[in-house]
Chain A
Amino acid sequence: MAFDKMELRDVEVWDGNFAAAQAMRQVQIDVVAAYPITPSTPIVEGYAKFLADGYVEGEFVMVESEHAAMSGCIGASAAGGRVATATSSQGFALMVETLYQASGMRLPIILNVVNRALAAPLNVNGDHSDMYLGRDSGWIQLDAYSPQEAYDLNFIAFRVAEDHDVRLPCMVHQDGFMTSHTAQGVNTLTDDQAYGFVGDFKPMNDMLDFDHPVTHGVQTEEDWHFEHKARQHNDLMTKVLPKVQAAFDDFEALTGRKYNIVESYDMDDADVAVICMGTSVETAREVAKEMRTQGIKAGVVGLRVFRPFPFEQIKEALKGAKAIATLDRSSPNGAPGALFNEIAGTLYNTESRALLSGYVYGLGGRDLTKQHLVDLYTELQANVDAGKVTTPLQQFIGVRGPKLAFL
């Protein structure tokens, strides 16, 4: 590898953006096509700096929009390069058309999504609207709760996405500002460790293989389209999670840091459980511990993999819980909330028949406080004691005005 290596301390103080940029440097991405948008800009800016300073052998393609950014990534990936970029919010929304191209063409592009609200009203802060927007796009979606995880999950993402049994693009999500701009201690891998974990890029049907010419991005109509989509869904449903687990296992052997497809905290004997994503998981963990000192057996389940949705692992994690709250950080706009629906779908045919209620919170970066979660766990315990859900099925946390609840 003809580039300068960077000597890192064992623990560096990085925010989530810089952690992701360092991971992109260490895996030696060939092409980044990017367009800046708050709060993800420092990721691609960081890669560009590393490139300019001779730490990466690659190409940085400046484009006129996020649609062009992902289009450039698709071309570079089809040509046979290791490719990644980053975006947020409106930029992510502009990418949506090309996200489906990337997954349908089975191109292992990595997209760091720094979660941010979607306008209107315009808002640069973190919620999960963009992450939710991507959930039908055929990408793998991994969720980081901290800068350390944003760093680590990038390696997992490349390892899984580029596997020839998978060959699907992967998003690594982190919460805007809460993770992306909050500096914490991050345990590092050396450049050799990181590159060795991900390995050399192994092309598949790349356009630069002139001995085996291929046409990428073909048109199919009613005679073939369904089969392609069915194949993609099958591979998401059956192949991805075992590969993710294998990558987690290898990563633990390398670093000692253990990740799970579904993260469970204090769930072994929990009566009441909160299931959520992003930085809220860490807040909920702290509150759950405090609830236990008051005699409420509280637990937390965090989704590490949002797509493909880990049905079996969630069933296992929630099997003992009596009352469960789903926390959706995206306006459901006329529905109960994606997480509520999916957890309901997961648990409906299980024995547990836990009492399920949904909460919408934190839109546009509104804080989820410990007091909110104390109140929430208290409501869940009341549901357990009453043997039924005592509140409306959908409630809003932290919104001003008369109490808002539905269903």
Chain B
Amino acid sequence: MQNNGWDEFEIGAMLRSFDGEVKDIATTPQEDRNYSSNNSFTASVADWRIEKPIFNKDYCIDCQFCWIYCPDISIISRDKKMIGIDMDHCKGCGICVEVCPTNPKSLLMFPEQADEEAELAGWPEKDKGEK
């Protein structure tokens, strides 16, 4: 954002989310939205994360729980199918893992530096509830 002078911005402590007019924004995928430079969509907060979620689509039932519970809209879902995680905005809170109902879970938390391929290969087995 430019460092404009006092006479070079719109009055009021307000910011626009999008450049220009928007129509049917709710049905427009995020990647197709004309976000303004003021919108936090263009800012990466990935470095806030200590642990990251990894998504294993083999067990996912597309229940959308993770999508609806994510506080940062970082679950990418299209046509009610879970696609993956927006790693620019995910802060690693782990709520998606907490709410995932499958057994084994389709989302698990791993250290930020963990290798996705390796973790998917070593995914836990179904918990049979044995004590």
Contacts and interface: CB of A to CB of B under 8 A. Distances in A.
Q: Do A and B bind each other?
A: yes
Contact of B11 (A210, A211, A218, A235): A235
A234 interface: yes
Contacts of A220: 13
B15 A227 contact: no
Given A106-B11, A167-B11, A212-B22, A227 B6 contact: yes
A363 to B, nearest CB: 36
A213 B22 contact: yes
B7 A231 contact: yes
A228 interface: yes
A338 B38 CA distance: 41
A221 to B, nearest CB: 12
B103 interface: no
Contacts of B4: 227
A104 B13 contact: yes
A5 interface: no
Interface residues of B, number: 20
Contacts of A190: none
B7 A214 contact: no
B15 A218 contact: yes
A216 B14 contact: yes
A230 B23 contact: no
Interface in A227-253: 227-228, 230-232, 234-235
Interface string B6-23: 110111111111100111
A215 B22 contact: no
Contacts of A232: 11
A205 B6 contact: no
B11 A223 contact: no
A214 B6 contact: no
Interface string A98-111: 00000011110000
A211 B20 CA distance: 9
A227 B22 contact: no
A215 B11 contact: no
A205 B3 contact: no
17 contacts: A106-B11, A106-B13, A107-B12, A211-B21, A212-B22, A213-B16, A213-B22, A213-B25, A214-B17, A215-B14, A215-B15, A215-B17, A218-B14, A218-B15, A228-B13, A231-B6, A231-B9
Interface of A: 104-107, 167, 204-205, 210-218, 220, 223, 226-228, 230-232, 234-235
Given A211-B21, A220-B13, A228-B13, 18 more contacts: A104-B13, A106-B11, A106-B12, A167-B11, A167-B12, A205-B14, A210-B22, A210-B25, A212-B21, A213-B17, A214-B16, A216-B13, A223-B3, A226-B6, A227-B4, A228-B6, A231-B7, A234-B6
